């Protein structure tokens, strides 16, 4: 048979390592509480419990159904016209001991000059009557362990405890911090609550808180835990994670009338050292008979017959007693303290508020029994320090500094022009070389755009030491300039050589013919011409011969 457990790992163990570990033991993971990565809802056989606890990655294993109870002891529901108000409000703004020892003072004034504005208070409880007139429009639901957000009863209180607690913290009529924002995380139903429900509800608040921080919202957070059960490291680690993130935790001390340090007696979250643990006092400044005590209790607050909003109708009142009713008085005072916070929201801020509650408490007005005193119980009653109008805050100094941002863009454009030249050179051999040269001019124009954004930052220092930083409207100036440069270069386009002209050849002189030899002179002869019978000389012989041949 499988049982359900919440397994908490050490901080340096990531989810991948844990899943591998479970698979090693043939165990499937059911739920991871997102935001609390070290806490896992797991089902496995009880026979595997010792093996898992022996693994070095495992810090603690707790039953998922471990019971958790509310810290109220009595519920007297009355109509809105039944009582005049909450005597606890009157008590937390007085240093002196009560002179009126009656069970309920008929007069008294709650004086306040802070309201908890801009502070978020998480109420991890039974839900709340969201429409009650005491909450105005300052209440919303961040988680309901039992109902879907689509359910009309989402976050709605079915037993009155959460409504009363929320009203005491921040109700318009009954509350300490009358303008704080109330954020409901419903973890109890009529049958009680389990450790699984408590861890889930705390986780939902942590996720919401971290989302605010991630969004840059400097809204402080307080978480009221008017509940308790057996101590579990799982719950302790979940709450410490909240404290590390900057949530102030206020916890009820418990209603068993026992010393929280008693051996074998453990109550969570009252025993968490960094939480503000609150015991209950009655109207006669005595520790309530049901209230736990001991050195783990930081302060006492009114917790007997406290009147606040009821849950059955929108104008109901209810009277409850218990450390559940004391704790919200202190949660409200923490909200008042945080109203003007400017410090980073982290674990350091939580410690500052915790220390302030301790140091600012009223000392030695409680009537404590010897047994309570001998347990190391501090005689401290919570005190709201915001009773008179705070000194008007005036401006002490103002400095203005310009934050200048310069952005430069450079857009280069290059244009090229050219011109050709021709040169002919006669070479020594008589040839000619003709060269065509192209002369380029590259003109580089860079358009420089300089955008100067000047934002005035005004820092105002006030007389209370606080500062305010005001960012003014930025002024934008745009300047455009040009950077011009030129580069010249040449390139030979063509080169041609013409050979030298061939010279005309010298005329060859005609050869002088050899002179024909003079014919040998024929001897002078006389010829007789047969034609005419004349005697001719040589001169006419040929002629006469030619005629004869004819």
Give the DSSP letter string of 379-422: -EE------SPPPPP-EEEEEEEEEEEEEEEEEEEEEEEEEEEE
Only one residue has tokens 């968490």, namely 272
CA 134 – CA 142 distance, rounded (Å) = 19
| Beta strands, E only, 196-241 | 221-225, 227-228
Q: Which of 324, 327, 381, 384 is catalytic?
A: 324
Torsion, Cα 209 132 282 178, to 10 degrees, reads 60
**Is the pTM here over 0.75, yes or no?**
no
Q: CA-to-CA distance for 138 and 120, rounded, in angstroms? A: 10
The secondary structure element, H or E, covering residue 320 is: strand 317-321
Rounded Cα distance, 63 and 40, in Å? 12
Give the pLDDT of residue 348.
96
Taking CA atoms, 333 is separated from 25, 116, 262, 338, 492, in Å, by 49, 8, 29, 9, 92
Which tokens go with 374? Answer: 């001998």
Of the residues 161, 164, 208, 209, only one is catalytic, namely 161
Q: Which residues, other chains included, contact 322 with Cβ-Cβ below 8 Å and sequence gap of 6+?
A: 70, 71, 72, 73, 74, 226, 252, 255, 280, 290, 303
Q: 303's torsion region: left (phi>0), alpha (psi -120 to 50) or beta?
A: alpha
- Specify the pLDDT at position 81: 36
3-class DSSP assignment, residue 124: strand
pLDDT of residue 372: 96
Per-residue model confidence as pLDDT tens for the chain (550 residues): 567 777 888 877 877 787 788 878 888 766 555 445 677 778 788 878 788 878 888 887 777 765 665 655 444 343 333 344 579 998 998 888 765 544 444 446 777 889 999 999 999 999 999 999 999 999 999 999 999 888 888 989 999 999 999 999 999 999 999 999 999 999 998 868 888 899 999 999 999 999 999 998 989 999 999 999 888 888 999 999 999 999 999 999 999 999 999 999 989 999 999 999 999 999 999 999 999 999 999 999 999 999 999 999 999 999 999 999 999 999 999 999 999 998 999 999 999 999 999 999 999 999 999 999 999 999 999 999 886 656 666 777 888 888 888 998 988 999 999 999 999 999 988 889 999 999 999 999 999 999 999 999 988 887 767 777 888 889 999 999 999 999 999 999 898 988 988 877 777 878 888 878 777 666 555 555 555 555 666 666 566 666 666 5
Among residues 161, 250, 157, 239, the alpha carbon closest in space to that of 202 is found at: 239
Distance CA 476, CA 542 (A): 134
pLDDT of residue 395: 77
Could you confirm whether 161 is annotated as catalytic?
Answer: yes
Residue 137 in contact with residue 358, Cβ under 8 Å? no
Q: Is 324 labeled as catalytic in the residue annotation?
A: yes
Where helices occur in 215-322 by DSSP H, the ranges are 233-245
Ramachandran quadrant class, 392 (left: phi over 0; alpha: psi -120 to 50; beta: rest):
beta
Q: List, in sequence order, the alpha helices (H) in 267-421.
A: 323-338, 347-360, 370-374
Position 233 scores a pLDDT of 84
pLDDT at 78: 39
Q: Which contiguous run of DSSP H or E holds residue 168?
A: helix 161-170
Report the distance separating Cα 139 and Cα 408, nearest Å: 51
Distance (Å, whole) CA 309 – CA 129: 9
H or E, element range at 204 = helix 195-214
Residue 166, CB-side half-sphere exposure with 13 Å CA sphere? 37
Which conformational region is residue 530 in: left (phi greater than 0), alpha (psi within -120 to 50 degrees), or beta? alpha
Give the pLDDT of residue 537: 62
3-state secondary structure of 53: helix
* Catalytic choice (125, 241, 259, 285): 125
Instruction: Please report the domains of the chain, with CATH numbers, ordered by start residue.
Output: 2-64 (3.30.70.80), 68-381 (3.40.50.200), 397-496 (no CATH)
256 among known catalytic residues: no
Query: What's the CA gap between 178 and 213, in Å, rounded?
Result: 23
């Amino acid at each position: 048979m499988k049982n359900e457990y919440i397994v908490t790992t050490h901080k340096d163990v990531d989810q991948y390592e844990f899943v591998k570990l479970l698979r090693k033991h043939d165990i499937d993971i059911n739920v991871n509480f997102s935001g609390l990565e070290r806490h896992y809802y797991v089902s496995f056989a009880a026979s595997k419990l010792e093996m898992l606890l022996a693994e070095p990655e495992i810090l603690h294993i707790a039953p998922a159904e471990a019971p958790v109870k509310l810290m109220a002891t009595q519920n007297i529901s009355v109509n809105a016209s039944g009582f005049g108000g909450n005597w606890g409000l009157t008590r937390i703004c007085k240093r002196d001991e009560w002179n009126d020892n009656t069970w309920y003072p008929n007069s008294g004034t709650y004086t306040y000059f802070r309201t908890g504005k801009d502070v978020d208070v998480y109420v991890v409880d039974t839900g709340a009557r969201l429409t009650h007139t005491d909450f105005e429009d300052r209440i919303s639901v961040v988680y309901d362990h039992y109902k879907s957000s689509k359910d009309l009863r989402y976050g709605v209180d079915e037993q009155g405890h959460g409504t009363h607690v929320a009203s005491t913290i921040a109700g318009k009529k009954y509350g300490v911090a009358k303008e704080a924002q109330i954020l409901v995380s419903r973890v109890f139903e009529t049958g009680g609550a389990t450790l699984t429900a408590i861890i889930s509800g705390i986780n939902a608040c942590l996720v919401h808180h971290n989302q605010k921080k991630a969004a840059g919202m400097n809204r402080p957070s307080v978480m009221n835990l008017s509940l308790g059960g057996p101590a579990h490291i799982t719950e302790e680690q979940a709450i410490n994670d909240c404290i590390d993130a900057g949530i102030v935790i206020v916890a009820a001390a418990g209603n068993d009338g026992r010393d929280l340090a008693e051996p074998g007696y453990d109550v969570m979250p009252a025993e968490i050292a960094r939480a503000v643990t609150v015991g209950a006092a009655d109207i006669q400044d005595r520790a309530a008979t049901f209230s736990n005590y001991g050195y783990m209790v930081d302060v006492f607050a009114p917790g007997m017959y406290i009147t606040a909003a009821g849950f059955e109708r929108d104008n109901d009142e209810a009277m409850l007693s218990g450390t559940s009713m004391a704790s919200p008085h202190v949660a409200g005072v923490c909200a008042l303290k945080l109203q003007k916070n400017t410090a980073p929201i982290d674990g350091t801020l939580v410690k500052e508020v915790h220390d302030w509650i301790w140091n600012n408490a009223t000392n030695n007005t409680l009537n404590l029994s010897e047994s309570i005193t001998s347990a190391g119980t501090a005689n401290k009653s919570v005190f709201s320090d915001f009773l008179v109008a705070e000194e008007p805050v005036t401006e002490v100094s103002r400095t203005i500094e310009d934050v200048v941002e310069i952005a430069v863009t450079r857009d280069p454009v290059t244009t090229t022009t050219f011109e050709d030249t021709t040169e002919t050179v006669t070479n020594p051999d008589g040839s000619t070389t003709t060269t065509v040269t192209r002369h380029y001019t590259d003109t580089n124009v860079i358009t420089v755009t300089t955008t100067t954004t000047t934002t005035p930052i005004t820092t105002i220092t006030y007389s209370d030491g606080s500062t305010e930083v005001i960012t003014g409207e930025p002024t934008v100036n745009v300047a455009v300039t040009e950077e011009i440069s030129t580069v010249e270069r040449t390139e030979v386009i063509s080169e041609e050589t013409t050979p030298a002209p061939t010279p005309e050849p010298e005329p060859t002189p005609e050869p002088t013919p050899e002179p024909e030899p003079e014919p040998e002179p024929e001897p002078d002869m006389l010829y007789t011409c047969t034609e005419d019978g004349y005697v001719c000389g040589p001169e006419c012989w040929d002629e006469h011969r030619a005629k004869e041949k004819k």
